[in-house]
Amino acid sequence: MASQVASPSASLHTTSSSTTLSTPTLSPSSPSQLSPDDLELLAKLEEQNRLLETDSKSLRSVNGSRRNSGSSLVSSSSASSNLSHLEEDSWILWGRVVNEWEDVRKKKEKQVKELVRKGIPHHFRAIVWQLLCSAQSMPIKDQYSELLKMTSPCEKLIRRDIARTYPEHNFFKEKDSFGQEVLFNVMKAYSLVDREVGYCQGSAFIVGLLLMQMPEEEAFCVFVKLMQDYRLRELFKPSMAELGLCMYQFECMIQEHLPELFVHFQSQSFHTSMYASSWFLTIFLTTFPLPIATRIFDIFMSEVS
């Protein structure tokens, strides 16, 4: 990977500037230790996230629209003065991580996971997600335009479900909007490269979240990685046997850790699949507010593979 980052909001393949972040390199010492400068930046990043957690306006603004990916992470005037320097520090820290990704991922994997848990700045999310799943240089990206020229047997089913995916989000809510069109494109393309899975409704929410962060070609590559390397396709196979296994494992956990709740559920014939299926199929994207669900997805990208 090139050691340059043009703009934190730019994608890996759409960089329009060759400006290099003038940041010092990460300390090459033990993978379990950060340099004093990095520790200081990390502390400031933690403070930024604390402020974000206490500022509901800031939290709601994180994922308003993919079109706003170049805007400030924080929109609330009550926090802007406190966060301006902290946000800049987090950009510097994440700029180091992105610029030195190959070395950082090999030598400081635990630290990367810790940073992700503390929050990926919105403007870096598209780049970091691609790096986390190694989707930034997939050969299949070159096939995307050709796939769109083909006909998929799932097209009618995909069209039917498009309006049900993030129906209140500005990027997708208008019929025949750009957002709905690129969502259709990615789902159609994947149904052609994985004919066994084809299309399954819950997967559109995952693709929709990706499209809020990055262009459709890159969202397609990340989705392919998620389905293959993260084994999400096992959940979406026609038999859904893997989903059944997840339900069984989750039910056993409830029985072990929350026995009274388990007994109550059983007495009411309230089966795990009645409430938890969507948690696994959409990775909580239909369960929590989008900013919170996006943070969960950050961790999923970082720790599940």
Domain membership flag for residue 185: yes
Residues 148, 249 share a domain: no
Domain membership flag for residue 202: yes
CB 20 within 8 A of CB 3: yes
CA angle 4-295-175, nearest 5°?
A: 90
Residues 159, 139 share a domain: yes
Q: What is the pTM of this model?
A: 0.73
Residues 123, 144 share a domain: yes
Residues 167, 138 share a domain: yes
Residues 249, 220 share a domain: no
Residues 216, 251 share a domain: no
CATH number for the domain harbouring residue 160: 1.10.8.270
Residues 255, 154 share a domain: no
Residues 250, 207 share a domain: no
In whole angstroms, give the CA distance from residue 48 to residue 295. Answer: 15
For the chain, the average pLDDT equals 80
Tell me how many domains the chain contains.
2
Domain membership flag for residue 162: yes
Domain membership flag for residue 250: yes
Residues 260, 161 share a domain: no
Residues 245, 114 share a domain: no
Helix axes 178-193, 216-228, angle to 10 degrees: 40
Q: Residue 14 above 50 pLDDT?
A: no
The pLDDT-based confidence of 84 (bands split at 50, 70, 90) is low
Domain membership flag for residue 218: yes
* Residue 14: count of CB within 10 angstroms of its CB: 14
Domain membership flag for residue 265: yes
Q: Residue 73 above 90 pLDDT?
A: no
Domain with 269 in it: 241-288
Residues 246, 164 share a domain: no
pLDDT digits (tens, 9 = 90+) for 154-194: 999 999 999 999 999 999 999 999 999 999 999 999 999 99
Q: How far is CA 180 from the centre of its chain?
A: 19
CB 280 within 8 A of CB 246: yes
The pLDDT-based confidence of 50 (bands split at 50, 70, 90) is low
Residues 101, 127 share a domain: yes
Domain membership flag for residue 11: no
Tokens of 231: 């084994």
